[in-house]
């Protein structure tokens, strides 16, 4: 306890320093070491791989695979807004979805941004959606 009270990065003298996975009275998870190595309750998935998802739509079979991807460093928010409008309004036709705050200011940003990252292979040519974010 004294180590947390004396930590130089704590915010206030009445607050302890927050360590990941720790609570005031000890570790957040009291599971065994083996159980802590996987699962959604521990927010880690080492060694777990999601199987490819096979989807058939209009007699075309798609194979969806999830791949970890870092967020892009350079992109413009307007690109994300254009994709959001295309996806929710043009494709899904959700005209009544209010993606802005209740206050309709002119410079208001939407509540959320959709950042797609997917690829598609057509006859050996890979197409990258939103590959360039400039």
Counting Cα atoms < 13 Å in the Cβ hemisphere of 98 gives 5
Nearest to 62 by CA among 72, 70, 52, 51: 52
What is the pLDDT, as a whole number, of residue 132?
Answer: 37
Provide the b/e sequence for 85-110 (b: ≥16 CB within 10 Å).
eeeeeeeeeeeeeebeeeeeeeeeee
Q: Region 18-35: what's the mean pLDDT?
A: 69
How high is the mean pLDDT of the chain? 65
What is the pLDDT, as a whole number, of residue 25?
Answer: 67
Query: Minimum mean pLDDT among 22-26, 71-75, 122-126: which range?
Result: 122-126
What is the pLDDT, as a whole number, of residue 86?
Answer: 79
Structure tokens at 39: 């699962």
Task: Tell me: pLDDT of 131 over 50.
Answer: no
Nearest to 75 by CA among 111, 108, 115: 115
Q: Region 8-17: what's the mean pLDDT?
A: 71
Domain-by-domain residue ranges, the chain?
1-48, 68-129
């Amino acid at each position: 306890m004294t180590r947390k009270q004396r930590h130089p990065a704590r915010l206030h003298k009445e607050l302890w320093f927050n360590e990941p996975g720790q609570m005031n009275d000890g570790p957040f998870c009291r599971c065994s070491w083996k159980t802590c190595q996987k699962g959604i309750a521990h927010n880690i998935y080492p060694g777990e791989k999601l199987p490819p998802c096979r989807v058939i739509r209009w007699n075309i079979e798609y194979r969806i695979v999830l791949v970890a991807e870092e967020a892009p460093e350079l992109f413009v928010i307007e690109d994300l807004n254009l994709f959001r409008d295309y996806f929710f309004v043009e494709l899904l036709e959700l005209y009544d979805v209010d993606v802005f705050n209740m206050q309709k200011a002119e410079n208001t940003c939407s509540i959320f941004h959709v950042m797609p990252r997917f690829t598609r292979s057509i006859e050996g040519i890979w197409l990258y959606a939103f590959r360039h974010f400039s």
